[in-house]
Amino acid sequence: MKYYVVADIHSFYSELETALKEKGFFGDTEPHKLIICGDLFDRGDESFKVQQFVVDLMEKDEVILIKGNHEDMLLEMVRNANRWFNLPDIEYSHHWHNRAVKTVLDLTGLNYFDLDNPTKVAKAIKDTPLFKKIIPAMKDYYETEHYIFVHGWIPCYEIDTHVFPKVLGYMDDWREAAVMEWDYARGYNGMLAWSQGIKEPNKTIVCGHWHCSWGHCNIDGKGTEFGKEADFTPFYGEGIIAIDTCTTLSRKVNCIVLED
């Protein structure tokens, strides 16, 4: 099977489309699937186009969806709908600066004045394909013979959380990890975990979530994390491929093509 793999689209459909065109996705007549390693929405302005594109692929059985931390945030926001609009509440302000609230409004057709009625907004977002079809189809991970696809990284033991960055340990039974452990794993910097020796024997883990320039800068010693010298191309190492481009800044989506 041929797999086209992307991550962290963040509602930038045009950039996603450009990346897929460059790799020949739309003209591919052989069996193939698109794997999206989490974070479909937030930050960009094309949430509706992303939603429709994913639904169309689902109907053709041409997509595999991995849950990202932004999907977790959307679910959490709906559970606490009555606090969405409370700007002074610092605990929930991440829903605003990550533009999750904008995603909800874009997909429902509501406006900011409707946030005064959080029950109405919650009902509206639950009626969208995002909540009815897309999120229920998402997996914590997807595994083939040679690859494991995740958002942040596979679940780990947190050996030392009193230092920064925290020290992680390999979890033998990570495939059976609890819901909370997967929630934490989606927030890991996969390149950092990999550099600490958290690898899966005889497999390559493909991840998103953390900008590739971190690995190029801090592991390879090349360029900077941000700015003119930042390298957002995929980060490759023995047992890892990281593909998050920090699309908000780079205005690009990485797409890799794998056969397995």
55 lies in the same domain as 161: no
22 lies in the same domain as 131: yes
Q: Say what the pLDDT of residue 88 is.
A: 47
Q: For residue 48, what are the contacts with CB-CB under 8 A and spacing of at least 6?
A: 106, 107
Q: Are 100 and 77 contacting, i.e. CB atoms less than 8 angstroms apart?
A: yes
Q: For residue 19, what are the contacts with CB-CB under 8 A and spacing of at least 6?
A: 6, 252, 253, 254, 255
56 lies in the same domain as 113: yes
Q: How far, in Å, CA of 216 to CA of 191, rounded?
A: 10
Q: Say what the pLDDT of residue 72 is.
A: 95
Query: Is residue 111 packed enough to be buried (19+ CB in 10 Å), middle (13-18) or exposed (0-12)?
Result: exposed
70 lies in the same domain as 163: no
Domain for residue 222, yes or no?
yes
Which of 137, 171, 187 corresponds to the end of one domain? 137
* Cα separations in angstroms, 103 against 43, 50, 128, 132, 186: 8, 11, 12, 16, 20
Which of 137, 165, 184 corresponds to the end of one domain? 137
- Reported as type and span, the H/E element at residue 257 is strand 256-259
Q: Which residues of the chain have pLDDT under 70?
A: 82-93, 161
Which of 137, 159, 174 corresponds to the end of one domain? 137
16 lies in the same domain as 131: yes
* Neighbouring C-beta atoms of residue 82, cutoff 10 Å: 11
Q: Say what the pLDDT of residue 247 is.
A: 95
Query: Is residue 170 packed enough to be buried (19+ CB in 10 Å), middle (13-18) or exposed (0-12)?
Result: middle
193 lies in the same domain as 91: no
Tally the C-alpha atoms within 13 A of residue 94's C-alpha that lie toward its C-beta. Answer: 8
Domain for residue 26, yes or no?
yes
Domain for residue 84, yes or no?
yes
* Cα separations in angstroms, 229 against 94, 165, 250, 251: 29, 24, 12, 15
170 lies in the same domain as 89: no
Domain for residue 5, yes or no?
no
Domain for residue 88, yes or no?
yes
129 lies in the same domain as 112: yes
158 lies in the same domain as 115: no
Domain for residue 42, yes or no?
yes
Q: In sequence order, what DSSP letters do the residues of 132-186 get, joined into one string?
A: IIIGGG-BS-EE-SSEEE-SS-S-EEEEE-SSSSPEEEE-TTGGG--HHHHHHHT
Q: Say what the pLDDT of residue 15 is.
A: 98
Domain for residue 206, yes or no?
yes
Domain for residue 2, yes or no?
no
pLDDT in tens, 53-78: 999 999 999 999 999 999 999 998 88
For the chain, what is the mean pLDDT? 92
Rounded to 10 degrees, what is the CA torsion of 46, 234, 140, 34?
60
22 lies in the same domain as 65: yes
91 DSSP β-pair partners: none
Q: How far, in Å, CA of 260 to CA of 248, rounded?
A: 31
242 lies in the same domain as 174: yes
- Return the DSSP state at 30: S
Q: How far, in Å, CA of 114 to CA of 260, rounded?
A: 47
Looking at the 3D structure of the chain, how many domains does it have?
Answer: 2
Q: How far, in Å, CA of 197 to CA of 200, rounded?
A: 9
Q: Say what the pLDDT of residue 90 is.
A: 44
155 lies in the same domain as 232: yes
- Return the DSSP state at 99: T
Q: How far, in Å, CA of 256 to CA of 243, rounded?
A: 8
Range of the domain at 246: 142-259
